[in-house]
Amino acid sequence: MTIAIGTDHAGYDLAQTITKLLTENGYTCVDLGCDGNACHYPAFSAAVCKEVMNKNADFGLLFCGTGVGMMMSANKRSGIRAMLACDSFSVKMSRAHNNANILCLGGRVLSVEKAWELTRLFLCTSFEGGRHKERIEMYDKIL
């Protein structure tokens, strides 16, 4: 499974740690920035969204201070369903019911342990389809 990863300076340390853990667990990670210096998150969000939209990556992970800015930026793009990771139930439902394809994590609000738990749950939960598929199709038409 290929994961596109983007971060700004506030999420950089967490992104580096999660990328290392993913690689150690057999995932292919595509690092799309940043280098840890002050930067603007929309550019890195756009790069990850492009990889997911073009199917060059199965999923995307975006990191900033809270995850909110990355989520808002990512959700501006058609076909992207980015979710903010705060708790296990929301992460699971975002995949199972909403077919989320990008997970947004906050480097200033999540511990490494919690971020890793939420990332693994996101990547291991399947979309249920069925009645949820029809809703996703309706959602995608709005954009």
Return d(Cα 126, Cα 46) in angstroms, integer: 24
pLDDT for residue 37 is more than 70: yes
In the annotation, is 64 catalytic? yes
Taking only Cα atoms into account, the Rg of the chain, rounded to an integer number of angstroms, comes to 14
Q: What is the pLDDT of residue 140?
A: 80
Model pLDDT, residue 142: 78
The one catalytic residue among 39, 97, 104, 124: 97
Q: What is the pTM of this model?
A: 0.96
Is the separation of the CB atoms in 65 and 10 below 8 Å? yes
Q: Which of 29, 34, 49, 64 is catalytic?
A: 64
Using CA atoms, how far apart are residues 138 and 143, in angstroms rounded to an integer? 9
Residue 19 corresponds to which amino acid? Answer: T
List of domains in the chain: 2-142 (3.40.1400.10)
pLDDT exceeds cutoff 80 at 143: no
Q: Which residues pair with 3 in a beta bridge?
A: 29, 59
C-alpha 5/C-alpha 23 separation (Å) is 12
Q: Is 97 a catalytic residue?
A: yes
pLDDT digits (tens, 9 = 90+) for 74-94: 999 999 999 999 999 999 999
